[in-house]
Amino acid sequence: MTKQVFSTNFCGKTLQIETGELAKQANGSVLVRYDDTVILSTAVTGKEPKDVDFFPLTVTYEEKLYSVGKIPGGFLKREGRPSEHGTLTARMIDRPIRPLFPDGYRNEVQVVNTVLSVDQEATPEMAAMLGASLALCISDIPFNGPIAGVNVGLVDGEFVVNPGPEQMERSEINLEVAGTKDAINMVEADAKEVGEEVMLDALMFGHEKIKELIAFEEKIIEAVGKEKMEIPLFTIDEDLASEVADKAKARMVAAVSIPGKLERYAAIDDLMAEVTAEYENREYASEDEKKAVLKQVGIILHDLEKDEVRRLITEEKIRPDGRKIDEIRPLDAQVDLLPRVHGSALFTRGETQVLSVCTLGASGEHQKIDGLGLEDQKRFMHHYNFPPYCVGETGRMGSPGRREIGHGALGERALSQVLPSEEDFPYTIRVVSEVLESNGS
């Protein structure tokens, strides 16, 4: 493939896509130039489907400090594990693309976005999202895109697309929105308590800009897109699904309606174990056939559970624990539980319980950020821990996973908007939320 270049003007900045020169052994690759921001996005799929019951997609956002003319700190002087911002950006790109792969696709897919150069006035995160979409769309990987995303700010009463640092400092909202040309499928935001109508208008404004980007993508896909490969998708045998439903549906309906979480889960687990054991004891032509049938039985049973939960909510307007859809769980809040900490509170909502502990520090204890942005420290941190015992299970303990980092950031974005200014309260604030029980989020 020879190098091809596509350019457009997007909201006053030059957006250029290059293909056919870099990372040619990937299934799909593009170089995105957004003014002086440069991102290399690649997409690769495995040749054989994985023996798993989920879609094995991995999205990474590789922040290279050379992109802003920095040398990494520490003894090794090289990039290590992803930064918190890198993890959050990877999750943000993952969310809008994941639902657009074919149902039943089990081949591993890896989307890597490498930040090569950063112009602080041209957001690399949204350029990476565009690159990820294009790398998938021009590849031979089955994908029902394209998608695009924009960052929307509200500065002096006017909506702004992909605002720079100075504009974002004055913006009343920080909205990240992504979607297809037909609909929005990802939203993340923080705001200075603006009204609902303002947020809705911001979403619609953002979607109009997304449509412009997708129209540009479609021209590129038409010019250089590969024919999509034919890959057998994982499917459920209809006769087996009907047979399992006849055996288990009535009991699943009863089990799903048990009010207590642990009792409900125990009843569902017992039912699944009983039905699975029946199929396990049958005779099969080979171990591979047995394994395939048992895998399908497990998925069918989970689908029966999911369908019944959905039916209860949409048709009977009640939740699995018996509550109406507008009925909240019992709430309880306590403060000052721990004697030697700066602040503590316990919040319980039904079978979900979180202990939060606050610590104040001097201004010199701000978190140092070795990242790509202009900000090199922050004074407020919210950390979220989700140990396995909170759902009655055993599991890995250790450093936080991507989900814990994401949930911590969600709370941090909300709380940071209502904290006193640094001039009025010049202290470092760290809040740690320990999830002690979880039923839902």
Condensed to tens digits (0 to 9), the pLDDT of residues 126-152 reads 999 999 999 999 999 999 999 999 999
Are 288 and 232 within 8 A, CB to CB?
no
Q: What is the mean pLDDT of residues 343-349?
A: 97
Q: List residues bridging with 417 in a β-sheet.
A: none
Q: CATH 3.30.230.70: which residues of the chain?
A: 4-224, 331-437
Structure tokens at 87: 């993890």
- Catalogue the E-assigned strands of 290-371: 331-335, 343-349, 352-361, 367-368
Q: How many percent of the chain have pLDDT more than 70? A: 99
239-266 core/surface letters (b: 16 or more CB in 10 A; e: else): eebeebbebbeebbeebbbbeebeebee
Are 440 and 414 within 8 A, CB to CB?
no
Distance CA 330, CA 313 (A): 19
Condensed to tens digits (0 to 9), the pLDDT of residues 189-239 reads 999 999 999 999 999 999 999 999 999 999 999 999 999 999 888 889 999
pLDDT score at 376: 78
Say yes or no: domain 331-437 is CATH 3.40.50.2300.
no
Q: CATH 1.10.10.400: which residues of the chain?
A: 243-314
Distance CA 299, CA 404 (A): 27
- Give me the CATH topology for the region 4-224: Ribosomal Protein S5; domain 2 (3.30.230)
The region of weakest confidence among 50-54, 98-102, 199-203, 240-244 is 50-54
Distance CA 46, CA 313 (A): 38
pLDDT score at 51: 85
Q: How far is CA 205 from CA 111, 176, 196, 202, in A?
A: 28, 12, 14, 5
Helices 84-97/402-416 angle, 10° precision = 100
Kindly compute the dihedral angle of the four CA atoms of residues 318, 324, 329, 330, in this order, to the nearest 10 degrees.
Answer: -130
User: Is the preceding omega at residue 146 within 30 degrees of 0, hence cis?
Assistant: yes
- Catalogue the E-assigned strands of 247-379: 331-335, 343-349, 352-361, 367-368, 377-378
Domain 243-314 carries which CATH code?
1.10.10.400
Instruction: Map tokens 């990877």 to a residue.
Output: 90
